[in-house]
Structure 1
């Protein structure tokens, strides 16, 4: 997806557009699953954590900042989630170390 379309989709999601939220999910689910499999082989844990992450994103969408880069989005997710709600202990810290 071109960057301008990605930014428009993100802004629509932040405004409560469920279709945009679904598009973001569809765009990132495989990458999130792959990342989770590098951390653990527990498929149910990975899926539960991704579901928790997206539920948290939806509930906090109005507090998320507009962004134009995937890394900024990931930083935003980790900022919103914070260490106390990290989708799986250490995931955000691991992400930050890989950057």
Structure 2
């Protein structure tokens, strides 16, 4: 991810912006995006593991989680996970 409009930060900004926009019948919130579209946003024919790691970090800095599902990515708010129940030692022994 190299040029200004295709940099990791620019792609993260675009993906974060989508979270707050209405589409798919919902006013905002979590969504999935095809890997092909992420490659287009990045201006790349391929997005490598290092690219995904960098994009994951950039989105975390913006308060979002990127989940790689092979053919598509899921973007969720990091605050979604705050209220999840916690597993502790007692429940795994």
TM-score computed with the length of structure 2 as normaliser: 0.30
The higher radius of gyration belongs to 2
| Structure (1 or 2) with the greater helix fraction | 1
Q: Which has the higher strand share?
A: 2
